[in-house]
Amino acid sequence: AQTVTQSQPEMSVQEAETVTLSCTYDTSENNYYLFWYKQPPSRQMILVIRQEAYKQQNATENRFSVNFQKAAKSFSLKISDSQLGDTAMYFCAFMKEGNTPLVFGKGTRLSVIA
């Protein structure tokens, strides 16, 4: 079974600074997808960024980028120029190919401080 581990329950960062959230996972699959979801106080989970395991290039979406290390099974999220609106719970998630469920980590609560 796949597992996803987020070792940082809470983090804080000053506005405009950069923060990195850690995520490791365990799988025997070769092809899979990795995601970071953001869950603000409004509750809805919003996709921040995704990475296909077969792609060596790290995914980027504006201020958000990942450091995907397939051999190490590591998938960290870097948020640059942090904004107050980035305050949320961030979940790392794993999914095998096909119609398979997402497996989530326990989440990291990020607070951006003015």
Q: Which chain residues interact with another protein by CB under 8 A? A: 33, 35, 37, 42-47, 50, 52, 91, 95, 97-107
Determine the Cα–Cα distance for residues 108 and 6; give it in Å rounded to an integer: 7
Residue 71 CB, shortest distance to another protein, in Å, is 22
Residue 72 CB, shortest distance to another protein, in Å, is 22
Determine the Cα–Cα distance for residues 68 and 55; give it in Å rounded to an integer: 9
Q: What is the DSSP string of 67-85?
A: EEETTTTEEEEEE-S--GG
Residue 67 or 89 having the CB closest to another protein: 89
Name the 3-class secondary structure at 86.
Answer: helix
Residue 11 or 45 having the CB closest to another protein: 45
Determine the Cα–Cα distance for residues 50 and 66; give it in Å rounded to an integer: 9
Residue 19 or 91 having the CB closest to another protein: 91
Residue 32 CB, shortest distance to another protein, in Å, is 9
